[in-house]
């Protein structure tokens, strides 16, 4: 609940700005006080009057009007949390650069409160390396993200870039105030399969659903951690308050993990493809009449876990997963040494673990083996997150 919390909402320019009005409703229904700052771009999509009516507060939009009372400092100090929703590509770039040319920019520099950004933009703008770099920089500085989601856009095209739904944004705001034992800790989590391209239309992958890794990310966030989830292609939504970086290949996953460092802990739940096709074909491979089937030459993928475990800025706690179909614990012990991690969560995948809802795991570390009973993946996640919290106590 957000009873008594003071939320400063910065509304920047996006056609999705109407959702900010719905967000204000939800936050006020939970007992929060909401004040809004409307940027010049935001004012193209929602009016100052509608924001004032919905928040029940004065709306600030002019740096120089506010400056008669050093308004940006007052607003920055007043807020328990600053929420930028929608956060346009331009606003994210300004935040990354620390530009303070308007009231929103000044408040964002002056505040010491947690900042949550809910990006909204065209999928091509979201995928642009400039936006990616801005988001990575902001995340490394502690800015939290919610969304964007995938789906229909204002233009007749779809893809990631859609502003998170008001309920998701409200959940992410609640997560900002989660006073858990992992408050102040940054945890990197990998999840899902990787896709290794054969040609522009074909790939090699595996049956990982990503459910266990997503559940772990959610459980860590619920204990107050700042979580970066590097995810292969899955159909799951980002857990509330978790920054998700979506990747396809193992090499992209490694690059995203290295970009997310430093971290206090790292948990590698992804089912990374061991091999990739050595030479990805630039064009779709043709099936010529009468010709033999092609032979694919494979190359070894980088081991992401092993690379992070011996990284110059190694997380203090590195946890790997081991999916085995026989001698589960013995293989996990060997893997612990080989990969240089601190704990291994070993699971028997001879059953229906991939895509299933339950998991039977053994927690293997230098100090011994714990056998956990079969339980839902969410419970495995909660138990593991609690163990991580104990480690940092
Ligand atoms: O060697 P194996 O694939 O069984 O190791 C599994 C563990 O290593 C998992 O934690 C998995 O996420 C991680 N891994 C990785 N990069 C790879 C292969 C596995 O991070 N290329």
For residue 218, the CA-to-ligand 1 centroid distance in Å is 21
For residue 32 the two structure tokens come to 């929060």
For residue 273 the two structure tokens come to 């493809």
For residue 371 the two structure tokens come to 């056998």
| Terminal Cα distance for the chain, rounded | 26
For residue 330, the CA-to-ligand 1 centroid distance in Å is 16
- Provide the 10 A C-beta neighbour count for residue 20: 31
Q: Write down the pTM of the prediction.
A: 0.74
Q: Which residues in 86-107 are b (16+ Cβ under 10 Å) and which e?
A: bbbbbbbebbbeebbebbbbbb
For residue 271, the CA-to-ligand 1 centroid distance in Å is 7
Asked if 204 and 297 count as a contact pair (C-beta separation under 8 A), the reply is no
Beta strand pairing status for 81-87 and 6-11? Answer: parallel
Concerning whether 301 is annotated as a catalytic residue, the answer is: no
Question: CA-CA distance, 32 to 309, in Å (whole number)?
Answer: 42
Ligand 1 proximity of 320 Cβ (cutoff 6 Å) = yes
Q: What is the pLDDT of residues 216-256, one digit of tens each?
A: 999 999 898 989 999 999 999 888 778 889 999 999 999 99
Asked if 377 and 216 count as a contact pair (C-beta separation under 8 A), the reply is no
Q: Which residues in 219-251 are b (16+ Cβ under 10 Å) and which e?
A: bbbbbbbbbbbbbbebebebbbbbbbbbbbbbe
Ligand 1 proximity of 272 Cβ (cutoff 6 Å) = yes
Task: State how far Cα 294 lies from the chain centre.
Answer: 39
Q: What is the pLDDT of residues 252-297, one digit of tens each?
A: 999 999 999 999 999 999 999 999 999 999 999 999 899 999 999 9
Catalytic residue among 122, 134, 206, 347: 206
> For each of the chain's 393 residues, which pLDDT tens digit applies?
799 999 999 999 999 999 999 999 999 999 999 999 999 999 999 999 999 999 999 888 877 775 555 678 889 999 999 999 999 999 999 999 999 999 999 999 999 999 999 999 999 999 999 999 999 899 888 899 998 988 777 777 778 899 999 999 999 999 888 788 998 899 999 999 999 999 999 999 999 999 999 999 999 998 989 899 999 999 998 887 788 899 999 999 999 999 999 999 999 999 999 999 999 999 999 998 999 999 999 999 999 999 999 999 999 999 999 988 888 888 888 999 999 999 999 988 776 656 667 888 999 998 899 999 999 999 999 999 999 999 999
**What's the full length of the chain, in residues?**
393
Residue 244: name the closest of 256, 252, 254, 255 by CA: 256
SS3 content of the chain, % helix, strand, coil (to 5): 35, 25, 40
Question: CA-CA distance, 11 to 38, in Å (whole number)?
Answer: 5
Closest residue by Cα to atom 13, ligand 1, is 305
Task: Give the number of C-alpha atoms closer than 13 A to the C-alpha of residue 167, restricted to the C-beta side.
Answer: 3
Q: Phi and psi of 67, rounded to 5°?
A: -70, -20
Identify the structural domains of the chain with CATH numbers, from first to last.
1-177 (3.40.50.1950), 179-393 (3.40.50.10300)
Ligand 1 proximity of 268 Cβ (cutoff 6 Å) = yes
Question: CA-CA distance, 300 to 295, in Å (whole number)?
Answer: 16
Ligand 1 proximity of 322 Cβ (cutoff 6 Å) = yes
pLDDT at 300: 97
- Provide the 10 A C-beta neighbour count for residue 283: 8
For the chain, the C-alpha Rg in angstroms (whole number) is 23
Closest residue by Cα to atom 4, ligand 1, is 322
């Amino acid at each position: 609940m957000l009873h008594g919390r003071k939320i400063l909402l910065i509304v920047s320019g996006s056609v999705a700005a109407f959702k900010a009005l719905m967000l204000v409703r939800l936050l006020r229904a939970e007992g929060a006080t909401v004040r809004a700052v409307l940027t010049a771009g935001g004012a193209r999509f929602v009016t100052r009057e509608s924001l004032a009516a919905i928040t029940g507060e004065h709306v600030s939009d002019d740096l120089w009007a506010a400056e008669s009372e050093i308004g940006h400092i007052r607003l920055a100090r007043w807020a328990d949390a600053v929420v930028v929703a929608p956060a346009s590509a331009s606003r994210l770039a300004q935040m990354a650069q620390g530009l303070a040319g308007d009231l929103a920019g000044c408040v964002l520099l002056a505040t010491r409160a947690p900042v949550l950004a809910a990006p909204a933009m065209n999928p091509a703008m979201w995928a642009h390396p400039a936006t990616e770099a801005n988001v990575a920089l902001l995340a490394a500085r502690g800015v939290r993200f919610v969304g964007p989601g995938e789906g229909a856009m204002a233009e007749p095209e779809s893809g990631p870039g859609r502003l998170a739904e008001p309920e998701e944004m409200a959940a992410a705001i609640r997560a900002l105030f989660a006073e858990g034992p992992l408050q102040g800790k940054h945890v990197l989590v990998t999840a899902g399969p990787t896709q290794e391209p054969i040609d522009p239309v074909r790939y090699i992958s595996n049956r990982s659903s990503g459910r266990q890794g997503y559940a772990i990310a959610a459980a860590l966030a619920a204990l107050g951690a700042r979580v970066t989830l590097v995810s292969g292609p899955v159909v799951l939504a980002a857990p509330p308050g978790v920054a998700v970086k979506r990747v396809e290949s193992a090499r992209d996953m490694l690059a995203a993990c290295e970009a997310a460092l430093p971290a206090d802990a790292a948990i590698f739940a992804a089912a990374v493809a061991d091999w990739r096709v050595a030479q990805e074909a630039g064009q779709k491979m043709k099936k010529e009449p009468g010709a033999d089937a092609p032979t694919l030459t494979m190359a070894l993928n980088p081991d992401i876990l092993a690379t992070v475990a011996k990284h110059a800025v190694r997380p203090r706690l590195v946890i790997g997963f081991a999916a085995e179909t026989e001698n589960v614990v013995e293989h996990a012990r060997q893997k612990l040494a080989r990969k240089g991690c601190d704990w291994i969560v070993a699971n028997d995948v001879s059953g229906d673990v991939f895509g299933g809802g339950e998991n039977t795991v053994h927690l293997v570390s230098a100090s011994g083996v714990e056998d956990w009973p079969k339980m839902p993946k969410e419970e495995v996640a909660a138990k593991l997150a609690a163990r991580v919290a104990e480690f940092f106590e």
